[in-house]
Amino acid sequence: MVNEPKLKDKEKKEIIEKLRPFWNRYREKEDKFRREIAKLEKEMTEKLGLGIELEFFHIDNECAGIGASNIADRDKFPLIHDSELYDFDD
């Protein structure tokens, strides 16, 4: 177990108060980003018209490609890995 620094309750509360605005700004940016990605996934799904919802999938917190949102649809649409999507001709 990692030894955490010992803070008095008052010190910790003061630090939390100073951190809270940054946390709130982070959450706002994260929420905006997620909404934009959801719009992009919807647009991608509609544009391809395959009758299944598509999503960007992540491995170890990094986007690794595109696949069907519903695992049951993966037999109709396999995962397309990021290495297949890069355009190396540019």
The pLDDT value given to residue 61: 92
Number of domains in the chain: 1
Q: Enumerate the β-bridge partners of residue 67.
A: 55
pLDDT in tens, 42-69: 999 999 999 999 999 999 999 999 999 9
Q: How far is CA 53 from the centre of its chain?
A: 17
On whether residue 19 sits in a domain, the answer given is yes
On whether residue 4 sits in a domain, the answer given is no
Average pLDDT over every residue of 3-27: 92
On whether residue 50 sits in a domain, the answer given is yes
CB atoms < 10 A from the CB of 19, how many? 11
On whether residue 1 sits in a domain, the answer given is no
Residue type, 61: N
On whether residue 31 sits in a domain, the answer given is yes
The pLDDT value given to residue 68: 96
Give residues with Cβ within 8 angstroms of 50, minimum separation 6. 76, 77
